[in-house]
Structure 1
Amino acid sequence: MPDDTTRRAFLGALLGGGVGAAALSPAGGLLDSFAPLSGRTWESTRGEVPDTVASQYGEATVTYDDYHIPHVEADSEKAAYFAVGYAQAADRLFGMDLIRRLMDGRLSAAVGEQTVESDIFHAKMDFRGAAEASRDALAGTRVEAVTEAYADGVNAYIETGPEPLESTLAGYDIDEWTVGDSLLVGTQISWGLTGSFETLRRAVLRDRLDTADYRRLYEQPFDHDAPIIREGTSGEVQGVDGFPASPAAERVDASLVDWLAAHEPPAWWGSNHWAVGGDHTESGSPILAYDPHLTLMVPPVWYEQRITVANEDVDVRGAGFPGIPFVIVGENQHGAWGFTNTGADVVDHYTYETDGDQYRYDGEWRDFETETRTIEVSGGEDREIEVRKTVHGAFIDREIDGETRHVGVAWTGMSGTRESEAIYEFSKTEGVDDYREALQKMDVPTQNALYVDDEQIYYKVTGKIPIRRQDGEIIDGNRVFDGSAGEGEWDGFEPFGQSDWAGGEFIPFEEKPGVVDPDYIGTANQRIVDDPTYPIGFEYASGFRGMRVYERLDDRIESGEPVDSEFMASVQRDTLDIRARKLVPAILDVRDQIDDAADPWLDALAEWDYRMDRDSAAALVFHHFYEAFQGATWGDDFEELGLDDGWWPQEWVLTELPPDDDFFDGDRAAVIAEAMETAVENIDAEGWSVYGDYHRTTIDHQFSGQVPSLNYPRYPTDGSAFTLFNTRDGLSAGSSWRQISSVGEPSRSILPGGQSGSVFSEHYDDQLEMWADGEYKAMAFETPDSDDTIEFGGDGE
């Protein structure tokens, strides 16, 4: 094995960018002491997964189909979920282990000094305490029992199966799995989708920008007419009334914001889903299309599985996150469902008057709730830190430039939550009524939930959203509150305990925005509705994807031509970029100011249909023009403010700025000409001809510095971050799962890679090229006729 120092350097590089980050820089030279693909290290990872496994829960069978999707069948739930745990561990154990270590603040015990700051942050946030509160909320439930069976299945694999390649190379021991670990993975998902320090960033921007500039760049609602719930939406519309404006935010220290941002979840990518009702479909039943936009990584974020439990009348298929037993998104024999991010504000921040071990609250000095925790550091000096909490939640303090800065953090996911129960119950739903009942237990994360059965569509904002009041008035949460004065408190919230979700001040389920049985509806992270009854949030996508969804759906419905699965697939593959539709005419208007070297590219733009297709020269030049246009518009001004490109306004703002705006120095034409010339220079230097020369599936393994063969192949593909066929620039993120479901008809899905995390498997990347080409595989509810099986047996309970 490599020496301890090399192992730590390797894992430090792996994890330094955060688990799931796409742009990692593995330490070179780790494998210098190994003969490539030979020796004990490699042999131990290539062993066969046993085809028979003892199970104390009774008989079960896992049968793998042509794409290595496990079809799990058993008479009892416990036997089924034991088998699910074993199957997930066989394919994804290393990633499961990294996530729990990350969230628990225990990376440095394996990595060393590189991740101490990450461990300090995660320990101070006490995500493990939040998961334990959820464990208490689940005590005695059926969900707890089947999750225990799942954990036993994971541990059976740890004891009997081949070790993951990555842990063997790194000398990394994987401990047994627990129910709390599954809940910790769930906490990671919820924090990754809703955790944000955007309020703190907004406070810094308010402080540094002119008031008028701040308001027009960050506070003006995007003036498109395609919110999720539009004026005139059919069906029963809920949660629409309007609310008062909120007060201004307080000032905060920018250096603390920078430190927190280093440990914040990855950028909010977004997602799409839409549904069309049976009155407009060829089959007479609703159809759902869904694709969540998350990190693209090796192996993929999602894991597909089918679970059949004869005694419970359960037959569910879809995708979940490794480490969690249940299908999270997918379908059963009665309906189909998916989720997109709402952008809801479920995190608040507080400042306090402090004095040593005390903070001032409600007119008196109180002791922090304090725990001393040791951060173990492999090969280095262990750290002892104080984990402090207030009545509001976590207390994050750091010494920066010789001075201690702090902020209190309240997050709905810090309390005991029941999303595991909701997800478990989705598999058993027999229609909209069952789904609505289960959805009320989905306390975190806040999501746009969309469901179809064979008769109707149901859309609802879900998750616990606090109601904030100031002097009796309802306010937004987009400010930093004075915790010592008791501002911005969430009545009924019990951090790291059991909150009074029903009696406290949280938006009632029926008063959250929603629509029962619309003709059709689409979500793409745009604002939810123009006048919600209560404030939901203040951070939404620019709206380009949402506009395009409704353009395609409106046109089809108005044409009278029925909708079928192939039409839904064509919308999911749609590559029209509305940014281009807004900006290309402005480029062509200033053609006479642009160097003649750009003429061939300008000709391509003049004939372009604004689609970001791989064989398009215009798509290539527009992409690079837009990057240069952003930099030329915002770069100098924000640099003077001491802020990098992470602080720039959203794309809608840039496309709508008046041509004589001060950020263009009063001359947008000159900025456009400069950006176009820069784009052409960059393209010519690289020798690219069409978009696909640049835009390829660069989805790399974290160990690529040592073993380049672990990387996925490069395939040209279409789309952009702002098209429905979603492939973020550099392909660090995009459509992480595509699903088209029509109850009673064959459904389809695809992953950006493969099911198996083992490079030795033929299913390592067998779906990637189809994903890049916008193709699908079947989501069948039939057990395949296959010899690739695992039999589980033993004494049943």
Structure 2
Amino acid sequence: MDRSRRAVLAAVLSGSVGAAFLSPASGYLDRFAPLSGDYWDAAASGSPSTVESPHGSATVRYDDDRVPTVEGESDAALAYAVGYTQATDRRFQMDLFVRRMRGELAAAVGEQGVESDRFHRQMDFTAAAEANWSALSDTETGAALSAFADGVRDATGDGTLAAEFQLLDYEPSEWSPVDTLLVQKQIGWGLTGSFRTLRNAALAEALDAGAAAELYPERLDHDFPILRPSASFGSQGQETPTEAQKTAMRDETEESRAVDLAFARWASAFESPDGVGSNSWVVSGEYTDTGDPLLANDPHLSLLAPPLWYRQHLRAPELAVGGVAFPGVPFVVIGENDAGAWGFTNAGADSIDFYRYDADGETYRYGDETREFDRRTETIEVSGGPNREVTVRKSVHGPVLERYGQRVGVAWVGLQANRTPAAVRELNYSDGRESAMTALQKFDHPTQNAVYADREGNTQYYMTGLVPRRFTDGEAVAGNRVFDGSAKEGEWAGFEPYGVPDRTAFVPSAEKPQEADPDYVATANQRIVADDQLDHYLAEAYSAPWRGKRIYDLLDERATSDEPIDFEYLRRVQRDVSDERAALFVPTILDARSEMDAPARAAADELVEWDYRMTRDSRAALYFAFFVDAYRSRVFDPAFDAAGLDDRFYPNDWVLLHLPPDSRWFADPPGGGPRTRAETIAVAMADAVEAVDEAGYEVYGDYNRTAIDHPFDQSFLNYPRYPTDGSPATVQNVRQGSGVGSSYRLLARFDGQPSESVIPGGNAGSPFSEHYDNQLRDWADGEYRPQEATTTGDPDVRFAAGGDDA
């Protein structure tokens, strides 16, 4: 199986954002005839031109990209029509979101879904979504979710089922508001459900604590945070763990908290694939040509066919908003309204902790008490195979994951009711910064770097989300290790798994990073501020600052020049493909030329005059991309293979490329023999040349292509392969082999001209639609489409109240 297929398989059966999709495995279709009459009937079906709505009249007008503008006479009429419209285009995709989160995937796809179902049943995301619905059902947001569910239900009943349902020979369950909340839980899990702590614990056992600390340092050594030293924000209290406490936490390795390598590897299969992240930046009108602010956002999430996002415009009394939603969510998640625009990137705050217990069968010690695990047995239905039983256990901290003879308790912010759906709805209706900030303060989960700009010239950065405060014996502690749950270590104040939290016990809103009216601010998942500016522990780790540094460099360059930051420059920054890894390491590669054989030296010579840009027509970019992969393997694989570690345990490239010549990974590695860094570079370059030659690639675009596939991995369902620019470390982001990249690109402006956006594919879910992949070429080429509502002309669909056709 090639790299991209492995990545999509891992994504589907994991908890990644957008991974509610099946892996591309043609085996799912063994029982079916893809070109049967039923399939063609489903492919040819479409929505009727008039629909009876129980919630009032509405209309839908599609533009040339099948982006709907949905107008409703009321909020409920709008939500119903949005549900109907999304289900018409993406019903199978919506079903898979929910099936995976409920742990019902195997009922549709068979044996390949069993492990995913086991994990998701044990986590019991459904109970968390039900708690959310209990808290929202009597609110305006709850009313919208109910009307949306009615629309999905009626669309499912009005037409022939999507082709994928025909191929798998099942019908979707009736959509409910809880299903929309499961979609939100799925997104939150993909962004914050990290098993890094378990991997670190297993790595320390497999290698040693020193090696683990070197590969996964507490903080990457750089000076490129999101909020630079000139920024300020509210900060009070003294709850940051001391360095001595952090060191003690890292050094503790009692057997009771050891994590088996097999368990860590199993759990890690259900988190996000490498590369999930995002870019955003906002620029004050002080630096633009029009005096109006500018905003950009591109979330780096799973690249799937059909895409993760659904473009839509919504109109109702007091509402005019456009942007993208996750299929199954009625509101615009990222976009703009008549007042302002907003975007999100993952803040990386530590929202999850793990606990080991002194346990005896169905009891465990908790302080001075002996408690019983809350326990029930569920049946996993398996299509075409024997059903399985799974035991679902819970402790005082939340769910208990159980596999390979180990039990680990999990506390995760997303397992309690949150107000995020209400926050997103209120953002849609916001009329300026004040109301937008009020909405963002309700954005309980996941933690996000929110950027905002409005037509009054206001700009804002704000970190959203509930950030836990952890205590052991009354002392603040960091969440960077496996806690002794029986000793009541790492207790979360205010946390209520499967209930409603006490939000006052989490880090107060005023004490989270934020900045009003910055000149400009750029977020790319790097460290938010220097640790000494915080009075609370926020995160175990952040992404490498390659993209964040580059965005700031480009903004600084233009801000200190005589030219303004205009819309074209905004576009240029988002399309930038200069790789900071290359700028750092190519000189080191060239210094090792004397150690290389002739073919490797010839490849290194391609790098001499290279401008470090990862463009499709570059041979140097091709060699560099393959070199980094080969160098990573040459440095770590001898030790990793000996310890039974796979590539899920690789550190990030910041760590790899900053290893000094005297690093233990060269001079005294935990596995394999000593070698110099130059020798390792030379062998890695030879490996890269061999891999390029074997593949027959001539330039980077031969390798760096749009490998975006349908879950069934059939040629007539998969997207075309187009060459494209960019890399995992560039602003225009694509991570070849992991199925992750810029899942939506937004450039927002306030000067009377339309904003621009694009998704990597098309809005339609049917492969027989001209809109199935019609935006993909523009996405691959770094082009955009105007983000404009369609409000004139005859509607494509009318929703008539009570059957009234007027």
Q: Identify the TM-score tier after normalising by the shorter chain.
A: over 0.9
Name the residue aligned to 2:689: 680
- Is this contact kept in 1: 2:279–2:299, CA < 8 A? yes
Change beyond 3 A, Cα 1:796–1:328: farther
Change beyond 3 A, Cα 1:221–1:239: farther
Name the residue aligned to 1:308: 315
Name the residue aligned to 1:297: 304
Name the residue aligned to 1:364: 369
- Is this contact kept in 2: 1:629–1:671, CA < 8 A? yes
Change beyond 3 A, Cα 1:790–1:131: same
Alignment of 1:201-600 (within 5 A): 201-233=199-231, 243-245=241-243, 246=246, 247-249=248-250, 250-310=257-317, 313-398=318-403, 400=404, 404-454=405-455, 455-502=457-504, 504=505, 506-531=506-531, 532-600=534-602
d(CA) in 2 for partners of 1:23, 1:182: 19
> 298-307 or 592-601, which moves further after superposition?
592-601
d(CA) in 2 for partners of 1:158, 1:143: 23
Q: Give the superposition deviation at 1:461.
A: 1.1
d(CA) in 2 for partners of 1:163, 1:717: 35
Deviations 1:44-102 (A, max 9, x none): 33123211110011110000001111000112010011000011001110011111111
RMSD of the alignment, in Å? Answer: 2.2
- Is this contact kept in 1: 2:234–2:511, CA < 8 A? no
Name the residue aligned to 1:5: none
> 636-645 or 60-69, which moves further after superposition?
636-645
d(CA) in 1 for partners of 2:229, 2:348: 21
- Is this contact kept in 1: 2:110–2:385, CA < 8 A? yes
How many residues get paired? 774
Deviations 1:308-336 (A, max 9, x none): 002xx100001110011110010101111
- Is this contact kept in 1: 2:704–2:723, CA < 8 A? yes
**Which residue identity does 1:510 align to in structure 2?**
A
Q: Give the superposition deviation at 1:236.
A: 5.3
- Is this contact kept in 2: 1:193–1:268, CA < 8 A? no
- Is this contact kept in 2: 1:57–1:796, CA < 8 A? no
- Is this contact kept in 1: 2:28–2:109, CA < 8 A? no
Matched, 1:712 2:719: yes
d(CA) in 2 for partners of 1:540, 1:231: 18
**Which residue identity does 1:530 align to in structure 2?**
A
d(CA) in 1 for partners of 2:738, 2:360: 48
Deviations 1:521-567 (A, max 9, x none): 00000011112221110221111111101110111111131111110
**Which residue identity does 2:746 align to in structure 1?**
Q
- Is this contact kept in 2: 1:524–1:545, CA < 8 A? yes
Change beyond 3 A, Cα 1:728–1:543: same
d(CA) in 1 for partners of 2:587, 2:312: 47
Name the residue aligned to 1:3: none
**Which residue identity does 1:509 align to in structure 2?**
S
| Secondary structure in 2 matching 1:518 | coil
Matched, 1:793 2:794: no
d(CA) in 2 for partners of 1:142, 1:48: 31
Name the residue aligned to 1:24: 23
- Is this contact kept in 2: 1:464–1:507, CA < 8 A? yes
Deviations 1:3-53 (A, max 9, x none): xxxxxxxx999965777389934135936863x645233223312321111
| Secondary structure in 1 matching 2:354 | strand
Q: Select which of 705, 723, 726 maps to 1:696.
A: 705
Alignment of 1:108-147 (within 5 A): 108-147=106-145
| Secondary structure in 2 matching 1:710 | coil
d(CA) in 1 for partners of 2:706, 2:691: 20
Change beyond 3 A, Cα 1:473–1:160: same
- Is this contact kept in 1: 2:86–2:327, CA < 8 A? yes
- Is this contact kept in 2: 1:293–1:736, CA < 8 A? yes
| TM-score (norm: length of structure 1) | 0.93
d(CA) in 1 for partners of 2:683, 2:675: 14
Task: Determine what percentage of the aligned residue pairs are the same residue.
Answer: 48
Name the residue aligned to 1:8: none
- Is this contact kept in 1: 2:58–2:81, CA < 8 A? yes
d(CA) in 1 for partners of 2:10, 2:628: 32
- Is this contact kept in 2: 1:13–1:25, CA < 8 A? no
> 731-740 or 717-726, which moves further after superposition?
731-740
d(CA) in 1 for partners of 2:266, 2:635: 27
| TM-score (norm: length of structure 2) | 0.92
Unmatched runs of 5 consecutive residues or more in structure 2: 1-7, 251-256, 667-673
Q: Give the superposition deviation at 1:653.
A: 1.1
- Is this contact kept in 1: 2:630–2:688, CA < 8 A? yes
d(CA) in 1 for partners of 2:279, 2:9: 34
| Secondary structure in 2 matching 1:700 | coil
Q: Select which of 776, 779, 782 maps to 2:787.
A: 779
Unmatched runs of 5 consecutive residues or more in structure 1: 1-10
d(CA) in 1 for partners of 2:233, 2:116: 46
d(CA) in 2 for partners of 1:207, 1:13: 25
Q: Give the superposition deviation at 1:486.
A: 1.1
d(CA) in 1 for partners of 2:746, 2:237: 30
Name the residue aligned to 2:679: 670
d(CA) in 1 for partners of 2:746, 2:169: 38
- Is this contact kept in 2: 1:70–1:306, CA < 8 A? yes
Deviations 1:205-264 (A, max 9, x none): 22333433333322252222110011123x656679865232325422222222222333
Alignment of 1:583-662 (within 5 A): 583-662=585-664
Name the residue aligned to 1:755: 763
- Is this contact kept in 1: 2:13–2:270, CA < 8 A? no
| Secondary structure in 2 matching 1:168 | helix
d(CA) in 2 for partners of 1:14, 1:522: 28
**Which residue identity does 2:392 align to in structure 1?**
V
| Secondary structure in 2 matching 1:115 | helix
- Is this contact kept in 2: 1:336–1:743, CA < 8 A? no
Name the residue aligned to 2:98: 100
d(CA) in 2 for partners of 1:113, 1:428: 45
Change beyond 3 A, Cα 1:680–1:441: same
Change beyond 3 A, Cα 1:655–1:683: same
Deviations 1:699-727 (A, max 9, x none): 111222xx311111111100001000101
> 665-674 or 313-322, which moves further after superposition?
665-674
Deviations 1:90-118 (A, max 9, x none): 11100111111111111222333332222
Q: Give the superposition deviation at 1:378.
A: 2.9
Deviations 1:607-632 (A, max 9, x none): 10000000111101111111111111
d(CA) in 2 for partners of 1:295, 1:543: 21
| Secondary structure in 2 matching 1:215 | helix
> 511-520 or 113-122, which moves further after superposition?
113-122
Change beyond 3 A, Cα 1:596–1:23: farther
| Secondary structure in 2 matching 1:793 | strand
Q: Select which of 58, 61, 70 maps to 1:60.
A: 58
> 730-739 or 320-329, which moves further after superposition?
730-739
Alignment of 1:149-188 (within 5 A): 149-188=147-186
